[in-house]
Structure 1
Amino acid sequence: MERKVREAKAERERLLREREERLMEEQRRQKEPLRTHTDTLKANAHTEERTQISSTNHTLEGVPLSLTLDFDLRAHVESLGHNVSGCMGVNLSSRRCGGFLTKRGGRVKTWRRRWFIFDLDHQRLAYYTELDEKKLKGVIYFQAIEEVYYDHLRTAATSPRPSLTFCVKTYERLFFLVSHSAEAMRIWMDVIVTATDEHSRY
């Protein structure tokens, strides 16, 4: 158990370092277009407008939505067309999303029901034994999440509900999660994808 805690702490520190480096790089990139914008302002208004648009696109590209200022998770999910208030079993606020999902184990491939919390303030997706959030079973830090996708073919043989199964891919592991309904699955996928830079591809 102590070894697992040490490994988790080491992994967290590594991911936090990577995140800090990424943020510093992003801040450096944001300053460059700002200097360009200042120079262009001296030239003419037409060029200034073009540079401003280019700068805005550059700074937003590749940045996870969860890191943007004043990001409202619930408002974002509702803007995608989801009926959040009508979806039972998914508790969604401006900063957190909670609900039960069935997760496949890592080494032992059994399916267990876990209480998941997607937390913007702590930048992590944590899962617990029960809703009271006392017994933490595991953590997926946002920095480690690469992509979120639906792949019923891969899980059809083992999943208790293949059509409601989706995948969360991290640097080191592939998590298979099962929701209780199709709408809840779509909401969870759109929530988790905000922790990645996938939104910039669409």
Structure 2
Amino acid sequence: MTISRRARLLAAALCAVALPVLTGCAAAAPAVPPGPPPAATAPLTPADVSAWLDGMVPAALDRTGIAGAAVTVVRDGEVVAAGGYGVAGDDGAPVDPAATLFRVGSVSKVATAVAVLQQVEQGRIDLDADVRRYLDFPLPLRFEPPVTMRHLLTHTAGFEERVRGMIVFDGDPGPVRDTVATAPPP
């Protein structure tokens, strides 16, 4: 069984987004042009994926001082492997990939990148086009060149970090779109 182009793109997206978070490195990896498709490989088995995760994730957690993580690998809509690593809270309970809840926070970067890259693959999004092409509200152009989807996915758009008003503990902060449309970050 060979690994499809879609699977390679998905794996690349996951590595580009998730590994910097796990390793504490925020620098974007340089773009590498795709090479020839790989030769036929052995089938991807749950045991192989689990063994790889078991060898990689605990070391990454130790190296970065992260208390715990839940990892699930999905292929063609089916769970290939799932694992809990480290502890889930102050009580030292182990992470259970089926039951431990995490704040979505930075984890949403992976899902967002995968969704965007699927749209790129389908020809609906150009990673290097002005992102304002895809917005239904005006976004001021504060500098040249314009912000692109590639900038947004690699956190190189130049926006100031701002969470005030976007994270609330009581009530609903409202759609992020409304905040960005009415008061975009500098």
**Superposition TM-score, scaled by structure 2 size:** 0.23
More helix by share: 1
